Amino acid sequence: MPATLTLTEPATFYLHYDAATQLLRGRWPTPVLDADLRGHYAELLAQAQAHAGCRYWLLDMRQRNWHMPSFGAWFSAEFAAPVRAALGQPVFIACLLSARHQTAAESARSQAIQRACARHDVYPYFFASEEAALDWLHYQQGLY
């Protein structure tokens, strides 16, 4: 049975590896400070490495606030390359968003971040439904 890991403060971020689907699942049940996000993503990477280099992540961001531009810049410039280097192959990140995130996710800034990440073989994509996100991740698993 996969264990749920609670990070930083209780009810801030939950993370677990689902061995049956070979997915790393992260969830933010409440808004979170950008300052805390870097630690959460570091823990995602550590858990991915601990589970045979898991490269398929499902991140539930529906309750989380959208991040500041500085976090997006950090993610693409400082996080994507080390993730790819640590895991050795392309990494696929399905992000579940609420309707209130849609405008930010479709912005030119978000698209630029996605292109920058793709240069490192890290692919964050945004989804409104968990079913669509899982379908995309399973499709990627079949390819890679």
Output the pLDDT for position 10.
Answer: 55
pTM value is 0.90
**Residue 9 dihedral angles phi and psi, to the nearest 5°:** -95, 145
Running along the chain, 144 residues long, what does each successive block of 10 average in pLDDT?
A: 47 93 96 92 96 96 92 94 95 97 93 96 97 98 88
List of residues 6+ apart from 144 with CB closer than 8 A: 55, 89, 90, 92
pLDDT of residue 57: 98
Specify the pLDDT at position 9. Answer: 52
User: Where do the domains of the chain lie, and which CATH numbers do they carry?
Assistant: 5-143 (3.30.750.24)
Phi, psi values for residue 114, rounded to 5°: -60, -40
